[in-house]
């Protein structure tokens, strides 16, 4: 009986989605807004090869600020609601292969993360993706060496300073540039090179550090409250 209800609800949801499918015919050209972003003179104003990054950090930069705030809020609530209770856990010893391999891999994964967020304005990637890769290195570290002293203060400070630099750079744009989050406060450089697009690589690097530190703190929080029951 209950299963029939569930099937009916899902079928009704499918019927609700069907008109969207029916009306979709594939776009033949860009929308007005997107073609504004893709026009040559507007691309040269921002000078970022990756247009998604241009949208995320400059045109819709305020949304990114809100997004970073939401992530911070989530991390804060998690830290608030998990109370540490230090239970001595009886852990199985990790194998030698796993430990040695993670010693080799952790620095490489961190390097890839830094590469991804520093090249966010040139290639696919950016602060959030790079930060997630950094956090995956921290996961590997926590799994391979569960008893390693985790300096959560350091991560908390990295995170706060990165957030402040992000907001500060955005505010400098409002003071000396043409508006909040204007990226032309630094020289725009040559199109397609690492040091180009003005403040975008700087802002995105700090976003990457902030996201990486935040996610690492969340993971450490989760790991420290684990128990064996």
Partner 1 sequence: MEYVALTVGFIVIMAGLWAIMTRKNIIRIIIGFSIFDTGLHIVMVALAYVKGRTAPILDNTVALDDAVNLIVDPVPQALVLTAIVIGLGVTALMLIFAMKLHREKKTLDIRSFKDLKW
Contacts to partner 1 by CB under 8 A: 3, 6, 9-10, 13-14, 17, 21, 24, 26-31, 33-35, 37-40, 43-44, 49-52, 54-56, 60, 63-64, 67, 70-71, 73-75, 77-78, 81-82, 122-124, 126, 128, 191-192, 211, 215, 218, 222, 225, 229
Angle (nearest 5°) at CA 98 between 228 and 141: 65
At its nearest, how many Å lie between partner 1 and the CB of residue 127? Answer: 10
Q: Count of alpha carbons within 13 Å of 10, Cβ hemisphere only?
A: 6
Phi-psi region of 26 (alpha: psi -120 to 50; beta: other; left: phi over 0): left
DSSP state of 119: T
Distance (Å, rounded) from C-alpha 108 to C-alpha 88? 31
Q: Which is nearer to partner 1, 24 or 149 (CB)?
A: 24
200 close to 58: Cβ distance less than 8 angstroms? yes
Q: Which is nearer to partner 1, 213 or 215 (CB)?
A: 215
Q: Which is nearer to partner 1, 64 or 158 (CB)?
A: 64
Give the tokens for residue 32.
Answer: 């007005």
At its nearest, how many Å lie between partner 1 and the CB of residue 101? Answer: 27
First to last CA, the chain: 36
DSSP string of 85-114, one letter each residue: ------PPPPPHHHHHHHHHHHHHHHHHHH
At its nearest, how many Å lie between partner 1 and the CB of residue 157? Answer: 21
At its nearest, how many Å lie between partner 1 and the CB of residue 94? Answer: 24
Q: Which is nearer to partner 1, 63 or 95 (CB)?
A: 63
Q: Which is nearer to partner 1, 7 or 108 (CB)?
A: 7
Q: Could you give the dihedral angle defined by the CA atoms of residues 172, 173, 175 and 178, in that order, rounded to the nearest 10 degrees?
A: 170
Q: Which is nearer to partner 1, 26 or 149 (CB)?
A: 26
Give the tokens for residue 112.
Answer: 């890839």
At its nearest, how many Å lie between partner 1 and the CB of residue 205? Answer: 16
At its nearest, how many Å lie between partner 1 and the CB of residue 48? Answer: 9
């Amino acid at each position: 009986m209950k299963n029939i209800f569930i099937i009916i609800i899902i079928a009704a949801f499918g019927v609700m989605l069907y008109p969207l499918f029916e009306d979709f015919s594939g776009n033949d050209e860009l929308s007005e807004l997107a073609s504004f972003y893709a026009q040559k003179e507007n691309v040269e104003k921002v000078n970022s090869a990756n247009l998604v990054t241009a949208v995320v950090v400059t045109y819709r930069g305020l949304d990114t600020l809100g997004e970073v705030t939401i992530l911070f809020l989530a991390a804060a609530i998690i830290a608030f609601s998990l109370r540490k209770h230090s239970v001595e856990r009886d852990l199985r010893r990790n194998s030698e292969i796993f430990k040695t391999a993670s010693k080799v891999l952790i620095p490489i994964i961190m390097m890839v993360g830094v590469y991804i967020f520093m090249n966010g304005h040139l290639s696919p990637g950016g602060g959030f993706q790079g930060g997630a890769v950094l956090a995956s290195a921290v996961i590997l570290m926590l799994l391979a060496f569960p008893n390693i002293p985790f300096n959560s203060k350091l991560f908390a400070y990295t995170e706060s300073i990165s957030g402040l630099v992000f907001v500060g750079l955005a505010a400098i744009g409002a003071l000396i540039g043409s508006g909040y989050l204007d990226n032309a406060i630094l020289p725009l450089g040559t199109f397609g090179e690492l040091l180009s697009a003005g403040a975008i690589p700087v802002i995105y690097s700090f976003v990457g550090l902030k996201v990486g530190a935040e996610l690492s703190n969340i993971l450490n929080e989760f790991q420290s409250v684990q128990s064996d029951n």
